[in-house]
Chains A and B, each alone.
Chain A
Amino acid sequence: MKHSIRRHLLTYLALALTVSSVLIGTLTYKVVSDEIEEWFDENMRQVAQALSAKWDQNAISQTLVDDHRTITQEEVFLIQIWGKGQLPIYTSHPSLSVSRHLASGFGQTNLQGSTWRYYSQTTDGVTVQVSHPLSEREVAKWEVASRFLIPLLLQFPLLGLFIWITVRKGLKPLDVVSADIEKRGSDAMHPLPFEDIPSEIRPLVNALNDLLQRLDEALQAQRRFTADAAHELRTPLTAVQLQLDVLKRCRSEEETADAMDKLSRGVKRSVELVRQLLTLARQDPGSNKQVDIQVDLVSLVEDQLNQCRERATQKGIVMSFMHAKSHVSIMGNPKPLGIMLENLLDNCLRYTPEQGRVEVNLSEQKGTVVIQIRDNGPGIPENEMAHVFERFYRVNGTDEPGNGLGLAIVKQVAEQHGATIILSDGLDGRGLAVTVTFEAVN
């Protein structure tokens, strides 16, 4: 069964109510019962004593009967008086007979299948014995006790109803909040109302609002990204479509070969854009949280340099890698870090002219690990440096095919690793230097 505060409250309150009612009922009955017992016993004793005294004054039996009736009112006492003989000299109910007990005091005996209580007093050989069936007492007890117990039973449903209403009312704010959430569309991210919220669920509503806000931000970022991506895909696809149209209209073989070549470059560019978009989407915060491990940047850089060695050689670009120690580690995720380095080196090779230089420097400084990649290419104009990390931004006048996503990916990976990126002038007073600063492993 599901855990429910309402059911929990109702169950335990009902249980408490029942237990306390039973307890009060039992106690009340016990007190009433004791009182009644005492009262009956006292009456019996008083009747016996009075009769005893009257007998001494030689009163006639008729008066006795009357007397006994006035004392007990409607209650029935069996009164027996014995003298010296075996048979009673007086009995109030001749049909009933309780045996004579000589010892003074209370006692119990069986008569006609039920228990009788008697009080017997013997004075100067005359025994006055007053007795009655215990069942009479029970009737009296119930009569008195019911006057207390019936209101007690009556308060039971009233109190139950009151508890039910109170619990319902108390939990109403929760119902309001859950109803609010329930009827929302999947994109309704406005905060839950905070007025009239009891202090107990305030933290919950607070936390929910906080979550809603973060969800909203993530959703909007995702939407922006999707819109941007869809928009940016149009450009390479337009090129492909036009290249295909041109190809269809080619008349000579030479033209066809040229158009084919252009088309294949267009397709390659579209594929590259999709690949980069996927990389960005995979790196998006929250898309997959991987546990950071210790990553050796020396071997990571060497891997990436090896991968683009051939491209560099083709362009006559000299690449160098300087590092003070044989291992420089940071905490991070090796795959995205590799992608980051790949993108940075790719940029260098793209934009650095033939016979250029690319230098990678890895150093440790005061609890930080600094990786710097410099080239002697055209660099980035200062007024555009602030924008180059934006998705799809392309430096004005760039002729290199690209999608403007490389540095956006680099920035995303850096942010993921709590690293900072600084752009500055590169080698020979020109070119570009990208400096990424990580926190060192403690």
Chain B
Amino acid sequence: MRILLVEDDRMIGESLQKGLAHNGYAIDWVRDAESAELGLSAHSYDLMLLDIGLPGKNGIVLLKELRQKKFTLPVLMLTARDSVTDKVVGLDAGADDYLVKPFDLGELEARIRALIRRHNGRSEPLMVAGNISLNPSTREISVGDCKALLSTREYVLMEALMARPGAVLSTSQLEDRLYGWRDEVESNTIAVHVYQLRKKLGKRCIMNVRGTGYKIGEA
């Protein structure tokens, strides 16, 4: 899961990046609207965390422009202003949700999960593909009767594959979900995680499409 974080305050940005990385999110952090536009044009993100009070072009203006340019990614607005009008302005500009500063990291994560879920057209918290079901909040996976707890990276991998059952994701697409700009990517890391998952869940949970990538299996 790759998230674009737009936040001008260094301390907040650093902490968010670190805190969310613990949960397997790949965070790209930029500090102004121009860099955010640049990032969005270079990568595809699953979600954007957007601070309203940015220097120069503020978050609301950026958001309006992005929506006009048909960027549909879910946007969670972070704001220090808690008046109703501020919230209304943000939501009307195209935000999907908002959090008023200061907020709890746990709450932010729950809202991120909810946004992603809704964005993928699901309303129930469990992701299901065939007889595989994944709980994003506990990272618990069950394949038939077999239950297992996934590591951060394993979860991200599984979540990416289960988001669109049947779609084939390339190694680099999966790496994109797994790592932010500054993370170093080990060369065979996706293969290693797939191996680990197959060991936990059975060989047929992830299928290898030769020369293309991976897709979720029928198990």
- A residues near B, CB below 8 A? 231-232, 234-243, 245-246, 249, 259, 262, 265-266, 269, 394, 396-397, 399, 401
- Identify the closest chain B residue to A251 (Cβ): B22
Q: How far is the CA of A401 from the CA of B11 in the complex (A)?
A: 9
Contacts A394-B55, A396-B56 given; indicate if A245 touches B15 (C-beta within 8 A). Answer: yes
Known A-B contacts: A234-B80, A238-B102, A241-B105. Give 12 more (CB < 8 A).
A234-B100, A234-B101, A235-B80, A237-B102, A239-B15, A241-B104, A242-B15, A242-B16, A243-B15, A245-B15, A245-B104, A249-B105
Q: Are the CB atoms of A241 and B102 closer together than 8 Å?
A: yes
Chain B residues, Cβ within 8 Å of A237: 101-102
State whether the Cβ of B10 lies closer than 8 Å to any Cβ in chain A. yes
Q: Are the CB atoms of B55 and A397 closer together than 8 Å?
A: yes
Q: Mark B1-32, 1 if CB is under 8 A from A, else 0.
A: 00000000111101110110010000000000
Choose from A232, A242, A396 the contact partner of B105 (Cβ within 8 Å): A242
- B residues near A, CB below 8 A? 9-12, 14-16, 18-19, 22, 55-56, 80-81, 100-106
Chain B residues, Cβ within 8 Å of A394: 55
Chain A residues, Cβ within 8 Å of B101: 234-235, 237-238
Most buried by A among B11, B12, B16, B105: B11
Q: How far is the CA of A399 from the CA of B13 in the complex (A)?
A: 12
Q: How far is the CA of A236 from the CA of B106 in the complex (A)?
A: 18
Q: List 6 A-B contacts (CB under 8 A).
A: A234-B102, A238-B101, A242-B12, A394-B55, A397-B55, A401-B11
Q: Are the CB atoms of B15 and A249 closer together than 8 Å?
A: no
Chain A residues, Cβ within 8 Å of B9: 235, 238-239
Chain A residues, Cβ within 8 Å of B55: 394, 396-397
Q: How far is the CA of A269 from the CA of B11 in the complex (A)?
A: 10
Choose from B80, B81, B106 the contact partner of A245 (Cβ within 8 Å): B106
Chain A residues, Cβ within 8 Å of B18: 246, 259
Chain B residues, Cβ within 8 Å of A396: 55-56
Q: Smallest CB–CB gap between B203 and chain A, Å?
A: 31
Most buried by B among A237, A238, A240: A238
Choose from A234, A249, A266, A397 the contact partner of B11 (Cβ within 8 Å): A266
Q: Are the CB atoms of A262 and B81 closer together than 8 Å?
A: no
Choose from B19, B56, B100 the contact partner of A249 (Cβ within 8 Å): B19
Chain A residues, Cβ within 8 Å of B11: 236, 239, 242-243, 262, 265-266, 269, 401
Chain B residues, Cβ within 8 Å of A401: 10-11
Q: Smallest CB–CB gap between A166 and chain B, Å?
A: 55
Q: How far is the CA of A241 from the CA of B57 in the complex (A)?
A: 26
Q: Are the CB atoms of B19 and A262 closer together than 8 Å?
A: no
Q: How far is the CA of A236 from the CA of B9 in the complex (A)?
A: 9
Choose from A235, A240, A246, A399 the contact partner of B19 (Cβ within 8 Å): A246
Across chains A and B, which 4 residue pairs bring their CB atoms closest together, nearest first?
A: A245-B105, A242-B15, A239-B11, A238-B102
Q: Are the CB atoms of A238 and B106 closer together than 8 Å?
A: no
Q: How far is the CA of A262 from the CA of B17 in the complex (A)?
A: 13
Q: Smallest CB–CB gap between A258 and chain B, Å?
A: 9
Q: How far is the CA of A265 from the CA of B9 in the complex (A)?
A: 13
- Identify the closest chain B residue to A239 (Cβ): B11
Contacts A231-B81, A246-B19, A249-B19 given; indicate if A399 touches B102 (C-beta within 8 A). Answer: no
Q: How far is the CA of A241 from the CA of B11 in the complex (A)?
A: 11
- Identify the closest chain B residue to A263 (Cβ): B15
Q: How far is the CA of A290 from the CA of B100 in the complex (A)?
A: 41
Chain B residues, Cβ within 8 Å of A234: 80, 100-102
- Identify the closest chain B residue to A399 (Cβ): B10
Chain B residues, Cβ within 8 Å of A397: 55
Q: How far is the CA of A242 from the CA of B14 in the complex (A)?
A: 9
